[in-house]
């Protein structure tokens, strides 16, 4: 049979392009969830003077922000290492990124602890304060997904996968993790502006 169109390699490139595009679309969907929560927060908070965050956000959030930004940078370098076929360096940087991701998770939990120590609970007649838990909690749910993606990258590098596959997997992971990073910064800035 004659297939005079694209070669298998070109088809693979096209298929990967489509998969990457799917990820972008998925991220748009995820962002819409947080956009909805933001507008919900605004509508709710505007409904009465007794509503609103009415506290200073825990300073731990500053540390968690630094941690997730650094994790994005280490992942970027891991991707560079993957492109340069330096597998050992890629694996090391991936482990550092995963560790930073876990640290972020722990820090967010600590921030919840600070809120609880100030008697700002999730179950609250001022739901603006409950929204802090919702925003951070849903973001953490995405972080769990991100960590799974990173572990998968590590397994890919440890096997190791063929160069192109390893690079493609890393590429998707980098996009997703950067998105989670930016999403947190959006959430943090949004909450800061409303505190």
Interface residues toward another protein, by CB under 8 A: 1-6, 8, 11, 14-15, 17-19, 21-22, 25-26, 28-30, 32-37, 39-40, 43-44, 47-48, 50-51, 122-127, 130, 134, 138
Q: Which is nearer to another protein, 44 or 105 (CB)?
A: 44
Q: How far apart are CB 22 and another protein at their closest, in Å?
A: 5
Q: Which is nearer to another protein, 10 or 85 (CB)?
A: 10
Q: Which is nearer to another protein, 91 or 169 (CB)?
A: 169
Q: Which is nearer to another protein, 59 or 119 (CB)?
A: 119
Q: CA 29 to CA 176: how far, in whole Å?
A: 13
Q: How far apart are CB 25 and another protein at their closest, in Å?
A: 4
Q: Which is nearer to another protein, 72 or 136 (CB)?
A: 136
Token reading at 99: 């560790």
Q: How far apart are CB 15 and another protein at their closest, in Å?
A: 5
CB 175 within 8 A of CB 20: yes
Q: How far apart are CB 162 and another protein at their closest, in Å?
A: 18
**Concatenated DSSP letters of the chain:** ----S--HHHHHHHHHHHHHHHHHHHHHHHHHHHHHHHHHHHHHHTT-TT-S--SPPPTHHHHHHHHHHHHHHHHHHHHHHHHTT-HHHHHHHHHHHHHHHHHHHHHHHHHHHHHHHTT--SS-SSHHHHHHHHHHHHHHHHHHHHHHHHHHHHHHHHTTPPHHHHHHHHHHHHHHHHHHHHHHHHHHHHHHHT-
Q: How far apart are CB 174 and another protein at their closest, in Å?
A: 19
Q: Which is nearer to another protein, 6 or 66 (CB)?
A: 6
Q: CA 69 to CA 78: how far, in whole Å?
A: 14
Q: How far apart are CB 150 and another protein at their closest, in Å?
A: 21
């Amino acid at each position: 049979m004659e297939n005079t169109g694209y070669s298998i390699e070109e088809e693979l490139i096209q298929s990967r392009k489509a998969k990457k595009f799917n990820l972008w679309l998925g991220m748009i969907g995820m962002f819409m969830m947080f956009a909805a929560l933001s507008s919900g927060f605004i509508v709710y908070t505007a409904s009465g003077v007794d509503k609103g965050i009415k506290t200073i956000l825990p300073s731990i959030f500053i540390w968690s922000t630094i941690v997730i930004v650094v994790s994005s940078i280490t992942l970027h370098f891991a991707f560079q290492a993957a492109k340069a076929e330096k597998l050992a360096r890629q694996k090391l940087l991936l482990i550092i990124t995963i560790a930073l991701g876990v640290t972020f998770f722990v820090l967010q939990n600590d921030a919840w602890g600070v809120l609880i120590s100030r008697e700002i609970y999730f179950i609250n007649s001022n739901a603006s304060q409950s929204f802090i838990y919702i925003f951070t909690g849903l973001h953490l749910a995405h972080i769990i997904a991100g960590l799974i993606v990173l572990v998968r990258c590590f397994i890919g590098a440890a096997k190791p996968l063929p160069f192109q596959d390893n690079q493609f997997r890393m590429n998707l992971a980098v996009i997703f993790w950067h998105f989670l990073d930016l999403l947190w910064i959006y959430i943090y800035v949004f909450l800061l502006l409303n505190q």
